[in-house]
């Protein structure tokens, strides 16, 4: 299926540094596995510019990531898994 997407992400990587939504919003975060083929789709779909290509791999800017999971949903290789921020005993903090 061909998607009609803009060429650039909705937010340029690093442009939201002064409004780090990730700090208060995020309850899960993406972990990128070695299956990543560097197609860069995740960097285009991330609404917050939290994923950038750096030194031959995808880096996550955690302060910008709000944990929406769009990157994991759009990854064709299933190379991105969403992981809970806190995975300890439930009921203590939630």
| Interface residue list for ligand SF4 (CB under 6 A) | 30, 46, 48, 50-51, 60, 65-71
The tokens of 47 are what? 């609404």
CB of residue 91 to ligand SF4, shortest distance in Å = 25
Comparing CB distances to ligand SF4, the nearer of 29 and 92 is: 29
Cβ at position 68, least distance to ligand SF4 in Å: 4
Contact 71, 45 (CB under 8 A): yes
User: How many angstroms separate the CA atoms of 39 and 57, rounded?
Assistant: 10
Minimum Å gap between C-beta 9 and ligand SF4 is 9
**Backbone torsion region of residue 65, taken as left when φ is above 0, otherwise alpha when ψ lies between -120 and 50, otherwise beta:** beta
Nearer to ligand SF4, 10 or 93 (CB): 10
Which SS3 state, helix, strand or coil, does residue 37 take? coil
**Distance from the Cα of residue 79 to its chain's centroid:** 12
Whose Cβ is closer to ligand SF4: residue 9's or residue 89's?
9
């Amino acid at each position: 299926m061909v998607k009609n997407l803009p060429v650039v992400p909705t937010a340029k990587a690093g442009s939201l540094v002064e409004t780090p939504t990730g700090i208060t919003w995020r309850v899960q975060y993406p972990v990128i596995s070695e299956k990543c083929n560097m197609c860069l789709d995740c960097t285009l779909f991330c609404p917050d510019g939290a994923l950038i290509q750096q030194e031959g791999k995808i880096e996550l800017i955690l302060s910008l990531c709000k944990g929406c999971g769009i990157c994991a949903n759009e990854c064709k290789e299933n190379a991105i898994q969403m992981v809970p921020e806190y995975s300890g005993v439930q009921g203590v903090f939630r």
